[in-house]
Amino acid sequence: MKVLKYLILTFFFSSLGLHAQRNATQDILEIAAAGLSDSSALESHYFVMKGRNAFFFRQYKEALEYAGNALKLDEDNKEAYVLAADAYAALGKDARALKYYRRAAALDEEDPVLLYHLALSNMKLGNNVAALENLDKAIEAEPDNSAFYYLRGEAKMAVGIFAAAMEDFEKVLELDPGADGAIIKMGICLREIGNYAESIEELSKAVSLNPDNADAFLERGKTYLRAFNKNKACEDFRKAAEQGSKDAGKWIENNCDSN
């Protein structure tokens, strides 16, 4: 019987692409270690692995089909729900993605990566308070993950608690000092609470750290404009436009002279 299980797993594994093989190794080891004798559970995991391979090649509809097949065989397969959610998110169907992330989370409420994706999905639909709850749990489970703090900072900005958001971006910078995105967010938060001088100082750090960051110039320009320094603002807007900012054009059109 053990030999038969091994042969089944080997066949499933060899039928996948290289990328999916790498991702599937841990799942296969866990299945083998658990000694699963339920062929439907094995086949369900196989469909998830095939779906992940399809997802990697951006074949999102195929990935959904594999996820559906997996769930028909094992309705408690968390990874099948996550696969479906990821595929729906990639297709821009955020409400459906959220539905499947929630189903996955109901099977494992302590998976920090799943909670992160659940929060991201909630935020896309404007459910920022729910996202904050998800991220609080994710951070409790994995307190040194800078991505969790960054997203929680964005969620706090979305509900207007900028001082609290700054605490999360400061934590991001503590964990990853080169995170210029967090510096920009700090500058935006300072602007929103009326500290224009500190906002400009913070955004200037982002410019110094990465002189090709169009967002840093754009956001500093917005702060200069709030501080009634139109000339400096327009310099930054034009610099952002030169670096490919899609939003800079409207700021130049609305605030700067054509010459």
The pTM is what? 0.83
DSSP E strand stretches across the chain = none
So what's the pLDDT on residue 31? 52
Instruction: Please say whether the beta carbons of 117 and 147 come within 8 A.
Output: no
What average pLDDT does this structure show over 136-165?
A: 98
- As a whole number of Å, the CA-based R_g of the chain is 23
Q: All domains of the chain, ordered by start, with CATH?
A: 1-93 (1.25.40)
Q: Model confidence at 219, in pLDDT bands (50, 70, 90)?
A: very high
- Contact indicator for 82, 101 with CB cutoff of 8 Å: yes
What is the C-alpha separation between 175 and 164, in angstroms, rounded?
A: 17
What pLDDT, on the 0 to 100 scale, is given for residue 23? 45
For the stretch 245-256, pLDDT in tens is: 999 999 999 999
pLDDT of 32 higher than 60: no
Residue 40 pLDDT: 86
Q: Are 66 and 83 in contact (CB under 8 A)?
A: yes
